[in-house]
Every structure is written in structure tokens, then in C-alpha cells.
Amino acid sequence: MNVDELQCFPSAFIRIHWEHPLDSRWEDYEMRKGFTRKPQGDEPATRGMNYITRSGLQRLKDEHRFLLTRERPAVAEVVAWAASNGDRSENADYQYGKRRLRQIDGRIRFLTKRIEAAEVVDPEAPRAGQPETRAFFGATVRYANAAGAERVVSIVGTDEVDLNRNHISWVSPLGRALMKSAAGDSVVLQAPGRTEYLTVLEVCYERISVEPFREPPGSESSAGTPSPTLT
């Protein structure tokens, strides 16, 4: 929205949106939800079951509840207010609000499908039919590359990827390379543009800490919505 367009809006509403533009306020949230994004590239959404840890599923449910019961109603209120201010075709806040509603609705649909397809796997539970010495979903693996550099990763679902915590998807190139391996095994990592030879040093199953969902500070529900009576 430019300065000329701002002149047609009430001053209180201008203050809210000028100091905290919706686009910038949602930028951090869009980055956050990358951890529960529609998987891309080497992490396609798996057909059928969505393997996930219990805490990972809870995060999806918390985001779904937030969007459905708080964020969508708040954005809808802004859209209704903006729609009362004249020509919708030239109303930037109305157009942006409608776009945000479409994005939120798409995210809600995506989360609904992922939650419905969820198959919870507890990394700490006894592993019937699967040796605890081999890496499967939920395993934490320590390995070394050809130079001897060691790294520890946990194999999680596509909705739980968090590289800051060394949580990798079970369908990523590294996840596939480590799958079914045991301590002492040599595996080949076929990554885009390179091939690496890795040695598995240790496989264990322990609690995997997934970052919980937190309400984004730039959300419409936390910022409040303009009153139609403002002048």
C-alpha cells in the first residue's frame, strides 16, 4: 500500500498496518511453518500413512487449531471491515485480506490431510520385529564421513524436519542412505551434485524433542483488528 492509498483509511487502522505491514508480519511465520511445509524436492509428501512422532503430530494439531479458531476469524474481520470502505477493486487491504484467507484455507486443508493420515511412531517404544541396532524411523544415528567428521542426526517425518536440531526426513537422501543401517556399516549418500561415503558409528532410540508450535508474533489475531467505528 502506498501513501496515497493510506489516505482513504482511518488513522487507527493506518497506524496498525503502517507500523506492522501484514506482509512483513507474516514473513517470520511463513519461515516457521517451513518446518511443517508441503514437502518439496527430495521430501515429497508420502502417499498413505504420514509417519510422525507424537510431539510432531501435536504441533500440527496446535497450528491447525490456531489457524481455524483464531487467525482465520481475525483476518475475516479485517476483510469485512475493509469491504465496508468502498470500492473493493481499489481497496488494497481488502484484496490482501482475501489473499491471506485463501492462504490460510489452503494451509488448513493441508494440515487436515496430514493429521488424518498420521501414523504416530514413538522412538522410545519397544520395536517389535525391528532390531534396535538398525536405523528405522525414529532412530538417532551417529556417523562419520570420509574425512572423519562426525555428526548425529535423528530420522523423523517430513513435517518435522528441523536442521537446527539435526532432524532429517526419513525420505531425504541422507535418511534413505541411513535407513536399515547398523553400527559398523558403510553407506553411500547420493546427494544432488555429490556422492559421499559414510560410516555408521552408533544407532539408538531415544526421545526426539520437536519444537512446539508457537503463535507467530505477526499474526492478525495477536495484533488485533480495526473497529468499524474508527474515524
Sequential pLDDT tens for the chain (231 residues): 433 443 333 333 323 333 334 444 444 444 344 434 444 444 444 457 899 999 999 999 999 999 999 999 999 998 888 888 776 666 777 888 899 999 999 999 999 999 999 999 999 988 766 678 899 999 999 999 999 999 999 999 999 999 999 999 999 999 999 999 999 999 999 988 899 999 999 999 999 999 999 998 878 777 654 444 333
Going by C-alpha positions, the residue among 168, 172, 173 that lies closest to residue 141 is: 168
Residues contacting residue 196 through CB under 8 Å, at least 6 positions apart = 145, 146, 188, 189
Position 82 scores a pLDDT of 81
56: Cα within 13 Å, side-chain hemisphere: 29
Position 131 scores a pLDDT of 75
Position 63 scores a pLDDT of 97
**Which pTM value belongs to this model?**
0.73
Position 78 scores a pLDDT of 86
DSSP, res 162: B
Position 18 scores a pLDDT of 30
By CB neighbour count within 10 A (0-12 exposed, 13-18 middle, 19+ buried), where does 1 fall?
middle
**Cα(231)–Cα(227) distance, rounded to whole angstroms?**
9
Position 42 scores a pLDDT of 41
Q: What is the DSSP string of 23-73?
A: HHHHHHHHHHGGGGS---TTSPPPSS-EEE-HHHHHHHHHHHHHIIIIIHH
Whether residue 100 contacts residue 82, with contact meaning beta carbons closer than 8 Å, is answered with no
List 202's β-bridge partners, or say none.
142
Sheet (strand 140-144) strand order:
167-169, 150-156, 140-144, 194-204, 186-191
Whether residue 68 contacts residue 105, with contact meaning beta carbons closer than 8 Å, is answered with no
Cα separations (Å) of 5 from 2, 8, 86, 92, 93?
Answer: 5, 6, 13, 8, 10
Position 89 scores a pLDDT of 67
